[in-house]
Structure 1
Amino acid sequence: MSDTLLVTGASGQLGRRVLAHLLDTCAVPPARLIAVTRDPAKLADFAARGVEVRRGDFDDPGSLGEAFKGAGRLLLISTDALDTPGRRLAQHQAAIAAAKTAGVRHIVYTSMPNPDGSPIPFAPDHLGTEQALALSGRGWTILRNAWYFENLAFSLPGALASGKWFTASSDGRIAHLSRNDCARAAAFALAAEPGGNTVYDITGPVAETTAEIAALVSQALGKPIEVVQVSDDDLVRGMVAAGVPEPMAAILASFDTNTRLGRAANVSDAIEKLTGRKPETLRSYLAANSQTFLPDHGAHT
């Protein structure tokens, strides 16, 4: 049986970090790794280290069979195709079918917290993918990744500029974590010895309210932030007025709804169990990265 490990979406921000952790943290020999991307040129640095880079396009299912050939375990990183309802789920289903045809024994998938019944518009993509894995006849590991610290860049620059953080999250808590910790967990899950089918809640070490997050940011940057609670509809209207496209504003507001309903508050020790290390705290992350949230820093991550 093949012991080759394959990463899809390998040129993305999460995928590149997974490859780095496989090589440098998990000490996987590069000859055991396959990296799949729409644009192999973007992974020239990993190809130079001995990783096999292949082209695969989730919108071209025919390309996936060859891309996945010879892999024993595969990391399916969820795509960012949110422009058309159902497109991302169709991509994932095609990838699972191609993996099955290629003889992949085990699939690791990056999902989201509590996708069943979630108010977040793209949750059905994740739930449908989890269901497809359960029916695939392959072994599977589901990583339900909590929201990245990096995603605070959607809210914090405006809050720091105005001194007010408008939110609909109320006193709901959220267990943020770094993208790097998600990548490290995914690398260990992919490199692990084959086991039973498992769902892991991949979370930060503590769940915090928006007010608590604002206090930490204020302390790190020396800028006061007042948290202002608003309704879901008012939050969407405010973002649209600030120039955010309405579909994206609705998705961002749904994160606050999700938090308010207590659906993002779970804290687990899955990262420590998988990797042997606890995840980074928000305080630690801010100490190293707070400048990225300043209003003049640039685009969102």
Structure 2
Amino acid sequence: MSKTNEAVLVTGASGQLGQLAIEWLLKHHQGPIIVTSRDPQKLSALTERGVIVRQADFDQPETLPEAFAGAKRLLLISTDALSVPGQRVQQHLNAVDAAVQAGVEHLVYTSLPSPEPGTACLLAGDHYATEEKIKSSGLSYTILRNNLYTHSLIPALQQAAASGQYAAATGDGATAYVTREDCAHAAAAALIAAVSESQTLDVSGPEALTGKDIAAIASEFTGRAIEFVPLTTEQLVGIYETAGLPNGAAQVFASFQTASSKGEYGQVTTTVKDFTGQAPVGLKAVLATNKSAFARAE
């Protein structure tokens, strides 16, 4: 896929996804790289590497056009402002408006699979509203609907290795787990791709896995018999509450597994390879690189 040398901008640059995307850009992009953060001092090391670092607060929309100035292509990484209802989506809407005002031509956004009304995921509404805003903005866009992160399975599989049971409320639904690294690299590659058409793409790992599949892979990896124990959403919420989560947060986290059980996250795609040229990493490889975590669980 051909690349552009136009100036690109990455928001949320101090976050994990942002940092991975920036490192990929530093290796593959020949043009200017601009990054923004609420606390640019955290990114001082990037300045020494030729990156333009700017302050940007999505809660202060009047400051954003200047922060985005000069960028032709912008990667909008969804924020983590979840504690106040409506704050995250407003931040996203502010960023899209500012991108238009700043003269951005193409916007890349990190979304979630199946965010349309009717989804079981309680956080998907923010993504759907953002997608609709982008589509009506007049900008060309690449919306990347990132599947659930493979590494999110590690804590549950550590417990499963100790107990012999992998419990989840995913039923018979399959999920095409993808690594954060693959999502970041695909987003960075989409940012510099010399394309201007608008597209909405699912970003997945190499395979869709059911709870039984995950238990079987964990059994093979650990050398211990691990069975899949299906839970109801209510049971999972109760487990989260017992672990100390308030009910609202427990309901939100459980809703991802409910969405999985309904098949909302089962789409396997070639998006990662199409953009980066590299096949996405699967669960077996992730477990292999996290052997130490399971050694501690013994």
TM-score range, shorter chain: over 0.9
Separation in 2, partners of 1:90, 1:296: 41
Counterpart selection for 2:9 from 6, 10, 17: 6
Matched residue, 1:85: 85
State the shift of 1:2 in Å. 9.0
Matched residue, 2:208: 207
Structure 2 stretches of 5 or more lacking a match? none
Partner amino acid, structure 1, of 2:148? W
Matched residue, 2:57: 57
8 Å CA contact 1:40, 1:55 repeated in 2: yes
State the shift of 1:171 in Å. 1.3
The residue matched to 2:289 in structure 1 has which SS? helix
State the shift of 1:281 in Å. 1.4
State the shift of 1:258 in Å. 0.7
Listed as ranges, the matches of 1:147-226 within 5 Å are 147-153=148-154, 155-226=156-227
Partner amino acid, structure 2, of 1:235? L
Counterpart selection for 2:25 from 17, 22, 26: 22
Which TM-score applies when normalising by structure 1? Answer: 0.92
Say yes or no: does 1:48 pair with 2:61: no
8 Å CA contact 1:158, 1:295 repeated in 2: no
State the shift of 1:198 in Å. 0.6
Structure 1 stretches of 5 or more lacking a match? none
Q: Residues 266 and 218 (structure 1 numbering): CA distance in 2 closer, same or farther, change over 3 Å?
A: same
Separation in 1, partners of 2:93, 2:295: 39
Q: Residues 85 and 219 (structure 1 numbering): CA distance in 2 closer, same or farther, change over 3 Å?
A: same
Matched residue, 2:242: 241
8 Å CA contact 2:77, 2:109 repeated in 1: yes
Partner amino acid, structure 2, of 1:175? A
Listed as ranges, the matches of 1:257-276 within 5 Å are 257-276=258-277
Partner amino acid, structure 2, of 1:250? Q
Matched residue, 1:251: 252
Separation in 1, partners of 2:90, 2:135: 16
Q: Residues 295 and 224 (structure 1 numbering): CA distance in 2 closer, same or farther, change over 3 Å?
A: farther
The residue matched to 2:202 in structure 1 has which SS? strand
Partner amino acid, structure 2, of 1:191? I
8 Å CA contact 2:161, 2:218 repeated in 1: no
For residues 37-78 of structure 1, give each alpha carbon's deviation from its aligned partner in whole angstroms, at most 9, with x where no partner exists: 111122122211110111101122222121101111000000
Partner amino acid, structure 2, of 1:234? Q
Cα root mean square deviation, aligned: 2.0
8 Å CA contact 2:106, 2:196 repeated in 1: no
Matched residue, 1:133: 134
Separation in 1, partners of 2:53, 2:6: 17
Percent of matched pairs sharing the same residue: 44
